[in-house]
Amino acid sequence: MGWTRKHLLTMQELDASEIVLLIDTAASLQEIATREIKKVPALRGKTIVNLFYEPSTRTRTSFEIAGKWLSADVINFASSGSSTTKGESFIDTAKNIAAMSPDVVIVRHSSAGAAALLARTLPCSIVNAGDGAHEHPTQALLDLLTIREKKAHFDGLHVAIVGDIAHSRVARSDIHGMRKLGMTVTVAGPPTLIPAFVQELGVKVSYRLEDAIRDVDVIMMLRLQHERMTNGLVPSLREYSRYWGLTLEKLAVHARPDVLIMHPGPVNRGIELSPEVADGPYSVILDQVAKGVAVRMGVLLLLAGSRGEAS
Amino acid sequence: MATPVPRFREKAQVLDDAALDRALTRIAHEILEKNGGASDVAFVGLRTRGVTLAQRLAAKIAQIDGAALPVGTLDITLYRDDLGLRGAPLIRGTDIPFSIKNKTVILVDDVLFTGRTVRAALDAIIDLGRPKAIQLAILIDRGHRELPIRPDYVGKNLPTSRRESVAVRLREHDGEDRVVIEEPEEA
């Protein structure tokens, strides 16, 4: 089964074989990070634009490194300090960038559907690097690659995704990817942060951390965004941390000894994760970051390295 | 979707299992002779059958000389000059678990045709470090070079026409050791 898509917009639209192809491609490219000369000529002469309307460290940097290791020219566009501050609309900015003939535009925007809008409007390939609370497919792919490397398979694994499910694009992309690969997913968090009808995605729901982490293979902790508190969804950070923060004590009592702790970053130390857990033996948080470069190389290669057949 | 792959039928057998084995034995001896022994020699096979042939050459040299030479695997997809012309690339990964610095690298592939694969492989190897020398071992040289590349060790020179194809079948992949010329069925 080959790759025939022009864009990477969601995990929802991919089928299991496409997800596995992306993960396999990324796994094969990991070796480049260990080389003395970290560069291969695969995307020489291709132009990649990072179009980021929201702050990002990991995602933007790892797309930039991924493009550069594949020898593409990578241009970063950040909305601050650009024509956006002069009042140019999103679509006008994108059309102006497209007029400079990039091969791939990587877009992050606070509105769901921003990447799909560009895919309909621009002639180049579009990668969704996060659109509102909708999807963040490359994060899900790097999570899946990390899980496969640690657990050797997907089928039958049970994952607990804990925290602010309602506002998390990572949770949504992870759920789609994990369900397609035969994993069981439980989402857990305070009721105000669990979307209504989330069971429609094929997940179980838990309202108690201790129940959610029992007997799971992977615990995915999500970042609690501070603005959720001011919106009245969480009474206080202290209360959230007491009930939903993962500590070594809770892990020792309730979780399996071989559980993996994951987090898409950036970590609020002492809120959703205690520092001992974030830096502890269960944590694969930095593995996730390293895999992020390989996954983004794989995505760029499959999108920009196959212009002949994609339509 | 994908254009239908033309079907090929067997036209003639070029090597049987005994002849294939003799060719590899001779190449192993030639490698030792040309390099004055096996010190600082390493094999790098091109995916997929080049790797198998490299492993067999290393085994032969181990029999003759007692030296256990390292064998690496090279995937040159990222270096191809026709990347993107053939649909999405399938990357299977490079695995060279030793330093090639100051080594004599014997690059092994099953068939030498236009030379473009070897050109890509040379770039790929040199990106990994600076070997002392690179030599090229090929089971079948079928001619039609498009680049100034020549092999150092050849199992068999086989004049072919461009429309024919050479199939190297190896036990490990195809259940038999045999080399055949194939021609398109609708001809």
pLDDT in tens, A195-241: 999 999 999 999 999 999 999 999 999 999 877 667 788 888 899 99
pLDDT at B90: 80
CA neighbor of A134 nearest in space, from A119, A115, A120 = A115
Taking the model in full, what pTM does it have?
0.88
pLDDT at B1: 45
**Binary contact (A28, B1; C-beta < 8 A):** no
pLDDT at A309: 40
- Give the chain B residue whose CA is nearest to the CA of A307: B84
ipTM of this model? 0.76
Measured between beta carbons, the chain A residues lying within 8 angstroms of B100 are none
| Local structure of residue A187 (DSSP, 8 states) | E
Measured between beta carbons, the chain B residues lying within 8 angstroms of A306 are 84, 87-89
Residue B91, pLDDT above cutoff 70: yes
Alpha-helical regions (H) of chain A = 16-29, 58-69, 90-98, 114-121, 137-151, 169-180, 209-212, 227-230, 237-244, 248-254, 275-278, 285-304
pLDDT at A310: 37
Residue B187, pLDDT above cutoff 60: no
Measured between beta carbons, the chain B residues lying within 8 angstroms of A305 are 83-84, 88-89
- Give the chain A residue whose CA is nearest to the CA of B124: A40
- Provide the mean pLDDT of chain B: 92
More confident residue, B1 or B83: B83
Residues on chain A bordering chain B, Cβ-to-Cβ distance under 8 angstroms: 2-4, 24-25, 27-29, 31, 35-37, 39-42, 70, 298, 301-302, 304-310
- Provide the mean pLDDT of chain A: 92
Q: Residue A39: which of B84, B87, B127 has the nearest Cβ?
A: B127
pLDDT at B84: 65
Q: Residue B94: which of A25, A31, A309 has the nearest Cβ?
A: A31
**Binary contact (A42, B75; C-beta < 8 A):** no
Q: For every one of its 311 residues, what pLDDT tens digit does chain A have, with 9 covering 90 and above?
A: 588 999 999 999 999 999 999 999 999 999 999 888 899 999 999 999 999 998 888 899 999 999 999 999 999 988 776 777 778 899 999 999 999 999 999 999 999 999 999 999 999 999 999 999 999 999 999 999 999 999 999 999 999 999 999 999 999 999 999 999 999 999 999 999 999 999 999 999 999 999 999 999 999 999 998 776 677 888 888 999 999 999 999 999 999 999 999 999 899 999 999 999 999 999 999 999 999 999 999 999 999 986 544 33
* Residue ranges of domains in chain A, CATH in brackets: 16-136+292-304 (3.40.50.1370), 137-288 (3.40.50.1370)
User: Using CA atoms, how far apart are residues A278 and B24, in angstroms rounded to an integer?
Assistant: 55
| Mean pLDDT value across residues B90-106 | 91
Long-range contacts of A251-256 (CB under 8 A, 24+ apart): A251/A213, A251/A277, A251/A282, A253/A210, A254/A210, A254/A213, A254/A214, A255/A213, A255/A214, A255/A216, A255/A219, A256/A215, A256/A216, A256/A217
**Binary contact (B87, A42; C-beta < 8 A):** no
Measured between beta carbons, the chain B residues lying within 8 angstroms of A28 are 75, 91-93
